[in-house]
Amino acid sequence: MRSDRNHRAPLALKIAAGAGLLFMHVPIMLIFVYAFNVEDRTYQWPPPGLTTQWLAVTWNRPDVWQALTLSVKVASISTAIAMVLGTLCAAAVSGSRFFGRETISLLVILPIALPGIITGISLRSAFSLMEIPFSTWTIVLGHATFCIVIVYNNAVARFRRTSGSIVEASMDLGADAFQTFRYVILPNIGTALLVGGMLAFALSFDEVIVTTFTAGQQQTLPIWMLEELVRPRQLPVTNVVAMVVVTVTLLPILIAYYLTRDGDQIAGMGK
């Protein structure tokens, strides 16, 4: 057991920690409060009155559903692409030595280091040069560039911690490449992929900058929210959407936290 378990933190530190937590989370709570505001044009404190009517209004707004569907679709597809390509790339870079390995590693990571606006502009000009019309797929392409990095980084870190000889051991014991992937590689990088995939999904879900350049007239959820704020009309609807998004995203995060809480217990290995 840790010896400092019984030490009590000084009061000032407790207050500072509490204040920090409040500072981060009170604004989120405010969003929840305004979702029930009767006033629909401005945010004023305290809210003049509370109502639940905006839940029903939001439910019946087709533009909310459209934006939400598009966002979920884009995030799912980009995450799926990133999981496959990011894992393969990480396996190649960490599993073997070849000419240009470091360069490839750098090129894969670069999109996350580049400002989103550069990625956005370059993609947009590429699309117009090649006369590709804007569609879900142009957004997916934009998002996949940084989603791959997230999955790749997580997978590469795990591959590095995993002894390379267990792959050889598996082959030595009679497993072909597919069996080795299924029984040895996947269980060992599974949690890293899960975390990487969730991060990638979350990044794609609230991405604005690259999306504005690659979406054309389409609206993903964050872009829809931005536009709602600019021309206020039934303002609390935005807050209801934000509230639902927070609640819905909290769930997978809790699940992932639960699954990865034991370092050496790997999810899905109870065969």
Partner 1 sequence: MTPAVTFQQVSRHFGQVRAVDAVDLEIQPGEFFAMLGPSGSGKTTCLRLIAGFEQPTGGHIEIFGESADGVPPYRRNVNTVFQDYALFPHLNVLDNVAYGLMVKRVGKIERLAAAEDALKLVKLPGYGSRRPGQLSGGQRQRVALARALVNKPKVLLLDEPLGALDLKLREQMQEELKELQQSLGITFVFVTHDQGEALSMADRVAVFNDGRIVQVGTPEDIYQRPRTRFVADFVGSSNVVPPDFVQRHAGQSRWGSLRPESIRVGAAGGAGVAARVISSHYLGAATRLALDAEGLRLHAVVPAGVPVPKQGEDVTLSFSPEHLHLMDEAGQ
Interface residue list for partner 1 (CB under 8 A): 162-163, 165-166, 168-176, 179, 183-184, 187-188, 264, 266, 269
Nearer Cβ to partner 1 (4/176): 176
Q: List, in sequence order, every residue forming a beta bridge with 50; answer none if it has no partner.
A: 37
Q: Least distance to partner 1 from the beta carbon of 81, Å?
A: 27
What is the per-residue burial (b if ≥16 Cβ within 10 Å, else e) of 35-64? bbbeeeeeeeeebeeeeeebbeebeeeeeb
If the CB atoms of residues 191 and 239 are measured against partner 1, the closer one turns out to be: 191
Instruction: Report the nearest approach of partner 1 to the CB of residue 91 (Å).
Output: 17
- Of 23 and 99, the one with the shorter C-beta distance to partner 1 is 99
- Residue 156 in tokens: 């590469």
Q: Using the minimum distance from each CB to partner 1, give the nearer residue, 123 or 266.
A: 266
The distance of closest approach from Cβ of residue 271 to partner 1 in the complex, given in angstroms and rounded to an integer, is 9
Q: How far apart are CA 58 and CA 224, in angstroms?
A: 13
Name the minimum Å distance from CB 268 to partner 1.
Answer: 10
Instruction: Identify the CA nearest to 36 among candidates 237, 174, 232, 227.
Output: 237
- Of the pair 28, 169, the CB lying nearest partner 1 is at 169
CA dihedral 99, 116, 215, 238 (to 10 degrees): 140
Minimum distance from CB of 89 to partner 1 (Å)? Answer: 23
> Could you write out the DSSP letters of every residue in 79-120?
HHHHHHHHHHHHHHHHH---TTHHHHHHHHHHHHHS-HHHHH
Residue with tokens 């569609």: 135
